[in-house]
């Protein structure tokens, strides 16, 4: 009898922007305690998983050349981690992962993390696993600090390394313009630069998270714009001084406010509505301060199978 090979499964997964990113001191394990608010954005990657004789990862699209396709790719580590979790051989998964990137690589928008979360959701469906999203989130947390958020999406308060999540009430669709830089920035290097800046002096720290939660509950983008804050911004700007000009250009183009997204170098500009975002994007694209400009909105859902049944 012929074995029936299940059809490939494609998962769409969001990027993230941090509306608030407060970084605590360096911990003995090399991480920093965070208090952050994530918002999932409509700038997405699509990840297809399939049973294949030639296992591996292939990457297409935005910045694909800079992504490793070997065992160090986080999506491949996700395949191995899930295989191990369900008692399959982690060294012999006959799985091919095809990643179509829309999220900038090393851009501070959790692109690599998103691909790992999408791979887990896709495999859970392909292998017909009886596994809950919360169980998948446990595997996500082993893979990286931002992976659980891209699994759930929406708007969430993150603590610990960023992996402990609580959903946040958010009343509005927010419109963003994203400015991609010419090259990525390494997240560990940006955290190390912040430690260095803090050793040298006392760079200002962002305020409390509660006002941001209140602004999200009212749904007023103007109120939220006043409160966007990121402790990592000083460090990314120190490593990439040109970002100062990009941030100024977005606000001059009519955005309500701009912030470096996560560890950067992508700059995210909050706009009053979708039309304003299109105008800001057009002007910023002509200002010569970044490689590419995109518009996006949020919050959007987390990693989900497209064009079929979603399990779990």
Cα 28 to Cα 33, 136, 147, 232: the distances in Å are: 11, 27, 22, 19
Q: One of 16, 101, 181, 231 is an active-site residue; which one?
A: 16
Residues between 159 and 198 that touch ligand C5P (CB under 6 A): 161-162, 187-188, 191
In the chain, % helix, strand, coil (3-state, to 5) comes to: 35, 30, 35
Select 122 or 162, whichever has its Cβ closest to ligand C5P: 162
Residue 281, annotated as binding a ligand? no
Applying CB under 6 A, does 149 fall inside the site for ligand C5P?
no
SS3 180: strand
- Give the nearest distance from C-beta 119 to ligand C5P in angstroms: 15
Q: Which of 115, 146, 181, 231 is catalytic?
A: 146
Between 113 and 125, whose beta carbon lies closer to ligand C5P? 113
Cβ(193)–Cβ(218) below 8 Å: no
146 is catalytic: yes
Q: Does 31 bind ligand C5P (CB under 6 A)?
A: yes
Residues 93 and 55 sit within 8 Å (Cβ to Cβ): yes
Is 107 assigned to a binding site?
A: yes
Q: Convert residues 116-135 into a mask of x (bound to ligand C5P by CB under 6 A) and - (unbound).
A: --------------------
Identity of the residue, 74 or 280, whose beta carbon is nearer to ligand C5P in the bound complex: 74
Nearest CA to 95 out of 81, 106, 109 is that of 81
- Chain centroid to Cα 58, Å, comes to 20
Judged by CB under 6 A, the stretch of 24-32, 61-69, 131-139, 286-294 that binds ligand C5P is 24-32
Q: Whole-number minimum distance, CB 74 to ligand C5P, in Å?
A: 8
Q: Which is nearer to ligand C5P, 145 or 150 (CB)?
A: 145
Min CB(194)–ligand C5P separation in Å: 9
Does the annotation list 1 as a binding residue?
no
Asked if 16 is an active-site residue, the reply is: yes
Interface with ligand C5P includes 204 (CB under 6 A)? no
At residue 259's C-alpha, the angle toward residues 205 and 219, to 5°, is 95
Q: Which of 15, 42, 145, 266 binds ligand C5P (CB under 6 A)?
A: 145
HEC profile for 30-42?
A: CCEEEEEEEEEEE
Closer by beta carbon to ligand C5P, 87 or else 188: 188
Pairing of strands 95-101, 155-159: unpaired
87 binds ligand C5P (CB under 6 A): no
159, 24 Cβ separation under 8 angstroms: no
CB count within 10 Å of CB 94 equals: 13
Q: 62: which residues sit within 8 A by CB, 6+ positions away?
A: 101, 102, 103, 104, 105, 180
40 is in an annotated binding site: no
108 assigned ligand-binding residue: yes
Give residues with Cβ within 8 angstroms of 160, minimum separation 6.
33, 34
CB 145 within 8 A of CB 32: no
Binding ligand C5P by CB under 6 A: which of 11, 34, 57, 243?
34
Residue 113 marked in a binding site: yes
- 32 forms part of the interface with ligand C5P (CB under 6 A): yes
Q: Does 87 count as an annotated binding residue?
A: no
- Interacting residues toward ligand C5P by CB under 6 A: 30-32, 34, 144-146, 161-162, 187-188, 191
Q: Give the active site residues.
A: 16, 146
């Amino acid at each position: 009898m012929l074995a029936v090979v299940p059809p490939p499964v494609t998962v769409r997964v969001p990027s993230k922007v941090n509306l608030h990113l407060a970084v605590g001191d360096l911990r003995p394990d090399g991480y920093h305690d965070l208090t952050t608010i994530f918002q999932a954005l409509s700038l997405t990657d699509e990840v297809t998983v399939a049973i294949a004789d030639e296992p591996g990862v292939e990457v297409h699209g935005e910045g694909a050349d800079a992504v490793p396709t070997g065992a160090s790719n986080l999506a491949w580590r996700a395949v191995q981690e899930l295989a191990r979790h369900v008692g399959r051989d982690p060294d012999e998964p006959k799985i091919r992962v095809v990643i179509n990137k829309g999220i900038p690589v090393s851009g501070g928008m959790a692109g690599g993390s998103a691909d790992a979360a999408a791979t887990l959701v896709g495999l859970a469906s392909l292998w017909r696993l009886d596994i809950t999203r919360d169980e998948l989130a446990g595997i996500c947390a082993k893979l990286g600090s931002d992976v659980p958020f891209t699994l759930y999406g929406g708007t969430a308060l993150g603590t610990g390394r960023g992996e402990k999540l609580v959903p946040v009430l958010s009343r509005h669709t927010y419109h963003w313009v994203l400015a991609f830089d010419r090259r990525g920035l390494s997240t560990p290097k940006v955290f190390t630069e912040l430690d260095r800046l803090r050793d040298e002096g006392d760079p200002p720290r962002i305020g409390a998270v509660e006002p941001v939660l209140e602004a999200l509950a009212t749904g007023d983008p103007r109120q939220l714009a006043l409160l966007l804050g990121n402790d990592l911004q000083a460090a990314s700007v120190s490593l990439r001084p040109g970002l100062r000009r990009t941030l100024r250009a977005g606000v001059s183009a009519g955005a309500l406010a701009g912030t470096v997204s996560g560890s950067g170098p992508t700059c995210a500009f909050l706009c009053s509505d979708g039309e304003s975002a299109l105008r800001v994007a057009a002007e910023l694209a002509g200002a010569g301060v970044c490689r590419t400009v995109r518009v996006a909105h949020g919050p959007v859902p987390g990693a989900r199978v497209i064009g079929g049944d979603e399990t779990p």
